[in-house]
Amino acid sequence: MSDIKYVYTFGVGETLGHAGMKDLLGGKGANLAEMTRLGLPVPPGFTVTTEACREYYRLGGRLPDGLVEQVQDAMTQIEHVLGRKFGDTQSPLLVSVRSGSAVSMPGMMDTILNLGLNSETVQGLVKRSNNPRFAYDSYRRFIQMYAEVVSGVRAELLDQIFDGRKQQERVVEDQELSSSALKDICDSFKDQYWRSTATSFPEDPQEQLWGAIGAVFKSWNNKRAREYRALYGIPESLGTAVTVQSMVFGNLGDDSATGVAFTRDPSTGERRFFGEFLVNAQGEDVVAGIRTPRSLTEHDRDPSEAQSLELEMPRSYQELVEAYQKLELHYRDMQDMEFTIEQGRLWLLQTRTGKRTAHAAIRIAVDMVHEGLIDKVTAIRRVQPSQLDQMLHPTFDPQFKQEAKNSGRFLAKGLPASPGAEVGQIVFTADAAVAWASQNKPVILVRAETSPEDIQGMASARGILTVRGGMTSHAAVVARGMGKCCVAGCSALTVDEHAKTLMVGNTILGEGETIAIDGSTGEVFLGTIATMHPQLGTHYQELMQWVDGVRQLRVRANADTPHDSKVARSFGAEGIGLCRTEHMFFSPDRILAVREMILAEDETHRRVALSRILPMQKADFKGIFRAMEGLPVTIRLLDPPLHEFLPSHQEEFDAIASATGKPVEVVQRVTESLRELNPMLGHRGCRLGVTFPEIYETQVEAIIEAACELIRDEGFSIVPEIMIPLIASARELELLREVCQNAVNRTIARMNQPIDVLIGTMIELPRAALTADEVAGHSDFFSFGTNDLTQTTLGLSRDDSARFLPLYVELGLFDNDPFAVIDPAVAQLIRMAVEKGRSKNAKLKIGICGEHGGEPKSIRICNDIGLDYVSCSPYRVPIARLAAAHAAIGTTGLAADV
């Protein structure tokens, strides 16, 4: 016999397990042991270790030596303590069997209750409870669970028997069935078991117990669990524990009850005991919602409700209050407990860290710091960056959303491209969006996909819904930048822009019909749903102060307008990491000059057109510098291919022709000649600067004039950061840096106002990363454009990947959507570029301005590589601040108070 200890008891003899043993006992077993050690009333039981499971697999599915003896020994101890015997016909011991690994996992075996019942021991239960109906209902439930979970009998076969009998008895509710009917059902279940498995239902409680333990072990390796582990990188070798616990019953009469309790309000975070219970019920009844549970406290009780537990069972309530106080103080976090009162006696069946809303998470964390329960670092850890998202945008009222689902108004699900929840009328073109919005109509812009021409329409719409495109498609990126709700890549929709119809299955919607879109979940509904607008509070402000004290990464925003800059600053942005100058080009008063510039036949004409754009850009820059006074602003020179500024429809060609005075054939010919097969890899970014240096010169002049005027006239202190996009080779940057520096010098001389300027580049092509040492020789800063870097490193178009990327993530070919979370290979390039860059230029400032800059896992990567800052859309700035703090804590292991 082996010396290895495979079984840890709790509530009998010395309890050796504790909360720190989750790896060996699973979360459930470890917490049950811990509660026992705290002296709380826990029904006695034991946990078979994960090590036994691992050994079981090592032995090819055989039980390890000593396990049977250790289990029997534990059972004997329980029998002794409770004065009941397993398999005894007079006073039978009944147990529950549950799986429990260190990480909870779908696909693992469910609970089996009432194990130990058979046609003889059930008589003992009848006697003990003096309630034959209860006893046979317990037996019926056991057979059903065991048959389904252990032996794989199809659930619907048993449901048919049960429902058939109910019909036969003409009853509606389960509890209306008589004990004899339930006894018959038990027999029918056993018949079905025999037909399904060709074996008899086990009468021997020992056989039942080992069947259940074996089923837990096997469930560790079923398909769903394996896939889940592969997906989340959980080691195969972990194994699962099995917890066997003596049964207690909340349904033994009106002196029995069962319920759940939270040590604080999980929805507001308020510090008060909160929970629900049912008299004469089993735990699953509370969850199932068949009967309406009652409040634990009088304070919470609704006038229409029956009295609270506080008054109904004051002694048990008092015991429960003491238990919750002890548990919260012990775990120093809000607990979610399950309890049962069996004939007046309180038993605790589970405790775990309670789930909570974002608001509650923040309030609980901050309160607990003030109460001296936790330190500030722990408080920061307690709030997940992703939780903040729901606080920063409107959401649908969950109740009304559920109603919409129930009433069949759910239409389709796309990608949750930009959070928020909006209701509006469908329009199919940007022009219509602008027109309808100007009449104060709320509109949702629905497009197959958006393009830069749609910017004004997007700005006018409440929300955006597209058929194609992924998480970093044009629609998604622009919408997030605007803080506007967007559902992208909703491929179940068919949009016909000419017919102005939107088709989903058999539903056809026309212009003006109302839909509701949830950018946080990707859901699309017909009709309206009420929204809620959460408020940031003082707890939030206090937490974020601590956050800012901990983090090492600076957080900037991607903002293109004075308005966005102000929003970003209000969310705590410490500068602008990416100001895209091209978005300024699309407003109706400018696009004509931009098009004239593109259609110009030579440099001279191009300069004339550019000179008309300069004052407009300058005004934008002044507004942005003003909004960001005292903070750094990085401005990217023109990036998109010129054809993005030209139209695609005949009417528009005509309009441009008449506006510019050029023959329509010329407009068409230029447009055609600029067309590209792969515009993403085409004539864009710094390649425009190389072929048309006058464009970059003009933009630099506008930046420097704006900054100089604010310095000279208003005493600002500004060091503009000019960023050159899409650099592939150091020599490109060398050339363009000279072009920009010359333009800076000329402008300084003209304005007679000295000014310092930084000139740097985006690293968004693998070549730039691979040659970053050379590039750094001509650069004051690097900013990783991870959208494009991901596209090129993976050879993956963000706009075209919707057809296969979801399948890729599902099959685990990528751990994450690489446009959401920085891909490991992209991270490798970033790390290489940072090392090479700093080796050549120690003063290099390094940041990231791709969409990943606002995503917590990616921020962790940026922190670990040692970037100076991340930059993200304004509405993600708080998330990024918190994620940066989490990353800093993770990296430094910083634990002391701050």
Q: Give the list of residues 6+ apart from residue 608 with CB closer than 8 angstroms, or none.
A: 600
Which residue type sits at 693?
Answer: P
Site string for a copy of itself, 825-864 (x = CB under 8 A): xx-xx-----------------------------------
Q: Are 252 and 341 in contact (CB under 8 A)?
A: no
Coil vs helix vs strand at 678: coil
Of 576 and 768, the one with the shorter C-beta distance to a copy of itself is: 768
Query: Shortest distance, CB of residue 690 to a copy of itself, whole angstroms?
Result: 7
Q: Which of 186, 359, 393, 474 is catalytic?
A: 474
Q: In the chain, what is the straight-line distance between the N-terminal and C-terminal CA atoms, in Å? A: 53
Judged by CB under 8 A, the residue of 389, 639, 644, 799 near a copy of itself is 799
Query: Shortest distance, CB of residue 790 to a copy of itself, whole angstroms?
Result: 9
Q: Which stretch binds a copy of itself (CB under 8 A): 143-151, 154-162, 391-399, 800-808?
A: 800-808
Q: Which of 849, 862, 872, 886 is catalytic?
A: 849
Question: Contacts with a copy of itself in 679-738 (CB under 8 A)?
Answer: 679-683, 687, 690-691, 726, 728-729, 731-732, 735
Q: How far apart are CA 810 and CA 807, in angstroms?
A: 5
Question: Contacts with a copy of itself in 736-765 (CB under 8 A)?
Answer: 764-765
Query: Shortest distance, CB of residue 272 to a copy of itself, whole angstroms?
Result: 49
Question: Residue 228, exposed/middle/buried by CB under 10 A (0-12, 13-18, 19+)?
Answer: middle
User: For residue 85, what are the β-bridge partners?
Assistant: 92
Judged by CB under 8 A, the residue of 165, 330, 767, 840 near a copy of itself is 767
Q: Is 435 in the site for a copy of itself (CB under 8 A)?
A: no
Question: Contacts with a copy of itself in 109-168 (CB under 8 A)?
Answer: none
Of 351 and 787, the one with the shorter C-beta distance to a copy of itself is: 787
Question: Residue 674, exposed/middle/buried by CB under 10 A (0-12, 13-18, 19+)?
Answer: middle
Of 184 and 774, the one with the shorter C-beta distance to a copy of itself is: 774
Q: How far apart are CA 228 and CA 230, in angstroms?
A: 5
Query: Shortest distance, CB of residue 682 to a copy of itself, whole angstroms?
Result: 4
Q: Give the list of residues 6+ apart from residue 290 with CB closer than 8 angstroms, or none.
A: 173
Put the strands of the sheet holding 493-496 in their side by side order. 493-496, 501-504, 507-510
Question: Contacts with a copy of itself in 447-506 (CB under 8 A)?
Answer: 449
Query: Shortest distance, CB of residue 793 to a copy of itself, whole angstroms?
Result: 5
Q: How far apart are CA 191 and CA 137, in angstroms?
A: 17
Judged by CB under 8 A, the residue of 792, 841, 871, 873 near a copy of itself is 792
Q: Which stretch binds a copy of itself (CB under 8 A): 343-351, 740-748, 786-794, 833-841?
A: 786-794
Active site residue 849: yes
Q: How far apart are CA 405 and CA 242, in angstroms?
A: 38
Q: Are 286 and 294 in contact (CB under 8 A)?
A: no
**Cβ-based neighbour number of residue 344 at 10 Å:** 13
CA distances from 339 to 97, 249, 568 (A): 17, 10, 47
Q: Which stretch binds a copy of itself (CB under 8 A): 284-292, 620-628, 823-831, 849-857?
A: 823-831
Of 1 and 807, the one with the shorter C-beta distance to a copy of itself is: 807
Q: Which stretch binds a copy of itself (CB under 8 A): 420-428, 478-486, 660-668, 824-832?
A: 824-832
Closest CA to 589 of 609, 613, 568: 613
The per-residue DSSP string of 279-330 comes to: ES--HHHHHHTSS--EESSTTT--TTSPPPHHHHSHHHHHHHHHHHHHHHHH
Coil vs helix vs strand at 47: strand
Judged by CB under 8 A, the residue of 352, 500, 814, 866 near a copy of itself is 814
Judged by CB under 8 A, the residue of 677, 749, 842, 896 near a copy of itself is 677
Query: Shortest distance, CB of residue 794 to a copy of itself, whole angstroms?
Result: 5
Judged by CB under 8 A, the residue of 800, 816, 866, 894 near a copy of itself is 800
Query: Shortest distance, CB of residue 638 to a copy of itself, whole angstroms?
Result: 14
Of 167 and 451, the one with the shorter C-beta distance to a copy of itself is: 451
Residue whose token pair is 């699962």: 240
CA distances from 393 to 486, 496, 532, 533, 573 (A): 12, 30, 9, 7, 17
Query: Shortest distance, CB of residue 596 to a copy of itself, whole angstroms?
Result: 20
Q: How far apart are CA 346 and CA 203, in angstroms?
A: 31
Judged by CB under 8 A, the residue of 407, 811, 835, 864 near a copy of itself is 811
Of 390 and 792, the one with the shorter C-beta distance to a copy of itself is: 792
Of 131 and 787, the one with the shorter C-beta distance to a copy of itself is: 787
Of 59 and 811, the one with the shorter C-beta distance to a copy of itself is: 811
The per-residue DSSP string of 566-612 comes to: HHHHHTT--SEEEEEGGGGGGSHHHHHHHHHHHH-SSHHHHHHHHHH
Of 161 and 805, the one with the shorter C-beta distance to a copy of itself is: 805
Active site residue 474: yes
Of 137 and 823, the one with the shorter C-beta distance to a copy of itself is: 823
Query: Shortest distance, CB of residue 768 to a copy of itself, whole angstroms?
Result: 9
Query: Shortest distance, CB of residue 720 to a copy of itself, whole angstroms?
Result: 25
Judged by CB under 8 A, the residue of 520, 791, 858, 873 near a copy of itself is 791
Q: How far apart are CA 202 and CA 193, in angstroms?
A: 10
Of 567 and 733, the one with the shorter C-beta distance to a copy of itself is: 733
Of 466 and 531, the one with the shorter C-beta distance to a copy of itself is: 466
* Structure token digits, residue 688: 């425009």
Chain-centroid distance, C-alpha 137: 41
Of 530 and 794, the one with the shorter C-beta distance to a copy of itself is: 794
Coil vs helix vs strand at 642: helix
Question: Contacts with a copy of itself in 380-399 (CB under 8 A)?
Answer: none
The per-residue DSSP string of 474-526 comes to: HHHHHHHHHT-EEEE--TTEEEETTTTEEEETTEEEETT-EEEEETTTTEEEE
Which residue type sits at 555?
Answer: V
Query: Shortest distance, CB of residue 656 to a copy of itself, whole angstroms?
Result: 21
Closest CA to 295 of 262, 322, 323, 267: 262
Query: Shortest distance, CB of residue 773 to a copy of itself, whole angstroms?
Result: 12
Coil vs helix vs strand at 106: coil
Query: Shortest distance, CB of residue 680 to a copy of itself, whole angstroms?
Result: 4
Q: Which stretch binds a copy of itself (CB under 8 A): 169-177, 557-565, 610-618, 795-803?
A: 795-803
Which residue type sits at 376?
Answer: K
- Number of residues interacting with a copy of itself: please give it, by CB under 8 A: 49
Q: Quick one: which H or E segment has residue 275?
A: strand 274-279
* Structure token digits, residue 300: 């919470």
Coil vs helix vs strand at 793: helix
Q: Are 850 and 787 in contact (CB under 8 A)?
A: yes
Give the binding site for a copy of itself (CB under 8 A).
Answer: 449, 676-683, 687, 690-691, 726, 728-729, 731-732, 735, 764-767, 770-771, 788, 791-797, 799-801, 803-804, 807-808, 811-814, 823-826, 828-829
Known catalytic residues? 474, 849
